[in-house]
């Protein structure tokens, strides 16, 4: 089987790494890929958003299966285009991808089908939004409607911060067209968790719950990023709570879309707040999360290709997932300046000394003059597995300590919230 993976970040490196373990796969392409991916796949000089070019490549190379990593090509309708050409591709179609491409669309779906989420209002003009947050006179969340690389959500502690967010999104256009509309929501409190599930449009099969760390600084301080690290499983999501999330959030979303003529196939990602009143949806994503995918795939004991094909063929009901015991933790090493304007071209040292049983998934990397150098904001995702959360945290930070490049920064508290283990007995019941 020939497989094409679309994307070039740490998530895609993890996907290529996992797909390469399938005995059914003989060739992997990745477009555009990165320096780390090039060791396991043939990198193709095509943008992840070049739908026409990707289709032509897949046809010319007789690609058997395409796996889409990032959200932008899904929102652009790549699945519809490939399927119309008779090609097998993993991911939701354009209509379903609006769950991530438009926070307004997602909010309306949740309201229509009784899916628990925060109260909120939609605005097309900044003055109306400012008037609304003045009336709230307290903390709120301001969200750009469209895709903003995981950075379009601003948690405001007061009116001044909310007003600044509205100005940035709607007037300064810091997220471009994504800020034509915005959503102002009540602020929810509790532990955050990420629950991803495979779905074939009928069956929903949750993966291990994970926890992402969005803010750039320790203690969840500073501006949001695409994700500074993640771990799985998240002990805050017990087996009983995971079943509740499936019943109250994941299944109603898939069924609600089906009632509107939208068949959702692929990964459904629910970003959740675990409030005292129960789980509430903060956002939906329509693909594997980044960096949650890195620890999840490091724990996945089965063949990813078998699960992907079951989704495409509508045969997910017969699939049972297997997981390695323990906990996996991913720490993201970021470039100088990230999440703002970041520096490129710094030489990366120390990867040759990382133990073989610790994965370094490359994201923003390139080769220059024979050296591995930084080429993006999030550069590496160092991922380790341990018998429990404490061992995984110790092992991953020991490996991080041997890696360096100028301006490198990272959070030092990834996984701290997981120090208290989820037993194998509980995982077996998921």
CATH number, domain of 159, equals 3.30.1490.20
Q: Which two tokens stand for residue 107?
A: 């909010």
CA–CA distances in Å: residue 41 to residues 25, 28, 217, 339: 11, 5, 34, 28
In a domain, 112, yes or no: no
74 and 168 share one domain:
no
DSSP one-letter string for 244-308: HHIIIIIHHHHHHHHHTT----EEEEEEEEEETTEEEEEEEESS--TTTHHHHHHHB-S-HHHHH
The label of the residue with tokens 């799985």 reads: 232
253 and 144 share one domain:
no
- In contact, 76 and 89? CB cutoff 8 Å: no
- In contact, 294 and 230? CB cutoff 8 Å: yes
Q: What is the mean pLDDT of each run of 10 residues along the chain (430 residues)?
A: 98 98 98 97 98 98 98 97 98 98 94 95 94 88 89 90 95 92 93 96 98 94 93 96 98 97 98 96 96 98 97 96 97 97 97 96 96 98 97 98 98 88 34
Domain count, the chain: 3
In a domain, 110, yes or no: no
In a domain, 217, yes or no: yes
In a domain, 101, yes or no: no
204 and 347 share one domain:
yes
CA dist 282 and 144 (Å) reads 13
Using H for helix, E for strand and C for coil, what is the string for 410-422? CCCCCCHHHCCCC
162 and 199 share one domain:
no
267 and 202 share one domain:
yes
CA dist 12 and 90 (Å) reads 13
Q: Which of 145, 286, 128, 294 is nearest to 211 (CA)?
A: 294
7 and 84 share one domain:
yes
CA dist 269 and 92 (Å) reads 12
150 and 207 share one domain:
no
Q: What are phi and psi of 84, to 5 degrees?
A: -65, -30
403 and 259 share one domain:
yes
The pLDDT value given to residue 151: 80
The pLDDT value given to residue 138: 83
378 and 278 share one domain:
yes
The pLDDT value given to residue 343: 95
pTM above 0.75, yes or no: yes
In a domain, 99, yes or no: no
CATH number, domain of 42, equals 3.40.50.20
CATH number, domain of 259, equals 3.30.470.20
320 and 395 share one domain:
yes
Residue finishing a domain among 180, 210, 244: 180
Q: Which of 151, 227, 191 is nearest to 411 (CA)?
A: 227
The pLDDT value given to residue 252: 98
296 and 352 share one domain:
yes
The pLDDT value given to residue 419: 82
171 and 284 share one domain:
no
In a domain, 165, yes or no: yes
In a domain, 212, yes or no: yes
In a domain, 103, yes or no: no
Domain coverage including residue 133:
125-180
Residue finishing a domain among 154, 180, 206: 180
């Amino acid at each position: 089987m020939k497989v094409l993976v679309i994307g070039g970040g740490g998530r895609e490196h993890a996907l290529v790494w996992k797909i390469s373990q399938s005995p059914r796969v003989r060739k992997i392409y990745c477009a555009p890929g990165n320096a780390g991916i090039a060791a396991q796949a043939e990198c193709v000089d095509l943008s992840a958003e070049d739908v026409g070019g990707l289709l032509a490549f897949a046809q010319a190379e007789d690609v058997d299966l395409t796996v889409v990593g990032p959200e932008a090509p899904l929102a652009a309708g790549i699945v519809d285009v490939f399927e119309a050409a008779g090609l097998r591709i993993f991911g939701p179609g354009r209509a379903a991808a609006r769950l991530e491409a438009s926070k307004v669309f997602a909010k309306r779906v949740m309201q229509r089908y009784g899916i628990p989420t925060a109260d909120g209002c939609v605005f097309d003009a900044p003055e109306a939004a400012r008037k609304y947050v003045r009336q709230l006179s307290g903390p709120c969340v301001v969200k750009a409607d469209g895709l903003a690389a995981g950075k379009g959500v601003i948690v405001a502690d007061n009116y001044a911060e909310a007003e600044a967010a509205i100005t940035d999104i709607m007037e300064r256009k810091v997220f471009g067209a994504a800020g034509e509309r915005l959503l102002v929501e009540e602020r929810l409190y509790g532990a955050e968790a990420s629950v991803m599930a495979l779905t074939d449009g009928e069956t929903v099969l949750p993966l291990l719950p994970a926890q992402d760390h969005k803010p750039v600084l320790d203690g969840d301080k500073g501006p949001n990023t695409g994700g500074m690290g993640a771990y799985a499983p998240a002990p805050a999501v017990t087996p009983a709570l995971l079943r509740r999330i499936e019943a109250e959030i994941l299944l109603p979303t898939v069924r609600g879309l089906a009632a509107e003529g939208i068949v959702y196939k692929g990964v459904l990602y629910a970003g959740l707040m675990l409030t005292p009143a129960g789980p509430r949806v903060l956002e939906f994503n329509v693909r594997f999360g980044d960096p949650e995918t890195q620890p999840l795939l490091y724990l996945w004991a089965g063949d990813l290709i078998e699960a992907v094909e079951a989704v495409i063929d509508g045969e997910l009901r017969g699939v049972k997932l297997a997981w390695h015991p323990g906990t996996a933790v991913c720490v993201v090493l970021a470039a100088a300046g990230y999440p703002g304007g970041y520096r490129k071209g710094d030489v990366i040292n120390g990867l040759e000394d990382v133990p073989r049983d610790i994965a370094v998934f490359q994201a923003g990397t390139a080769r220059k003059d024979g050296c591995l150098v930084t080429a993006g904001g999030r550069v590496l995702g160092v991922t380790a597995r341990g018998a429990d959360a404490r061992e995984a945290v110790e092992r991953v930070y020991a490996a991080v300590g041997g890696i360096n490049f100028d301006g490198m920064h990272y959070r030092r508290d990834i996984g701290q919230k997981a120090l208290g283990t989820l037993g194998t007995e509980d995982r077996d019941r998921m």
